[in-house]
Amino acid sequence: MDNLRQMLATMSPEEFSAAARERELEEWRSINRFCGKCGSSMQPHANAAERALVCPKCGYAAYPKLSPAVIVLVTKGNKILLQRNTHYKFRNWTLVAGFVDAGENFEDAVRREVMEEASIEVRDLRYFGSQTWPFPSNIMIGFRAEYASGELTADGEEVVESGWFDKANLPEIPLKGSIARAMIDAWLEEQDAAQRDA
């Protein structure tokens, strides 16, 4: 398993953020050794405070880039949607997630990913929070959404199995420290509070 990923559960948010920044900058330098426009060797920006690599020949400047990915906790009554993905190294269950495509906003990406992976429509999207995810240069944007319509069906390609789970029947869930786990934990607290109030 990736070392930083493994350490995520035990690091403070500040430690993780610093390690993530190092990791992302290292990746950025390694993929920008040559100018993407003319192929010349890139150099650090003359102003050291400017975080950019610059092409001395054509002037193209490369700044660190992140790939945004949405992740969504879909609820249906007192249950949540969890699924197992084929391409994950980790076999536990997790939330629907995927990269934002060109021309999409985050909400479009949430609706598309849920439709593609689970064949359902969702409504009432609400922002949850975000997390840097340096594997290698991503940022996860978390949403909550309510089930609207359709029959839950795993796509069979990316997702091998999916289901609705209430808090008494949760399968193995993502590691502490991940935004997926934070979203599930927040939902669990709501469930406990609802039970206390009932």
Given the rule CB under 5 A, which of 2-10, 30-38, 93-101, 138-146 is the region that contacts Zn ion?
Answer: 30-38
Residue 52 or 139 having the CB closest to Zn ion: 52
Given the rule CB under 5 A, which of 27-35, 67-75, 140-148, 175-183 is the region that contacts Zn ion?
Answer: 27-35
For the bound state, the minimum distance from the C-beta of residue 42 to Zn ion, rounded and expressed in Å, comes to 8
Token duo for residue 130: 């975000």
The CA distance from 133 to 141, in Å, is 10
Pick the closest to residue 189 from 165, 164, 167 (CA basis). Answer: 167
Alpha-carbon Rg for the chain in angstroms: 20
- How many residues of this chain bind Zn ion (CB under 5 A)? 8
Pick the closest to residue 121 from 93, 149, 155, 152 (CA basis). Answer: 149
Residues 31-70 that bind Zn ion (CB under 5 A): 35, 37-38, 40, 55, 57-58, 60
For the bound state, the minimum distance from the C-beta of residue 114 to Zn ion, rounded and expressed in Å, comes to 41
The CA distance from 63 to 46, in Å, is 14
Residue 45 or 181 having the CB closest to Zn ion: 45
164 binds Zn ion (CB under 5 A): no
Which SS3 state, helix, strand or coil, does residue 64 take?
coil
138, β-bridge pairs: 67, 133
Residue 53 or 183 having the CB closest to Zn ion: 53
Binding site for Zn ion (CB under 5 A): 35, 37-38, 40, 55, 57-58, 60
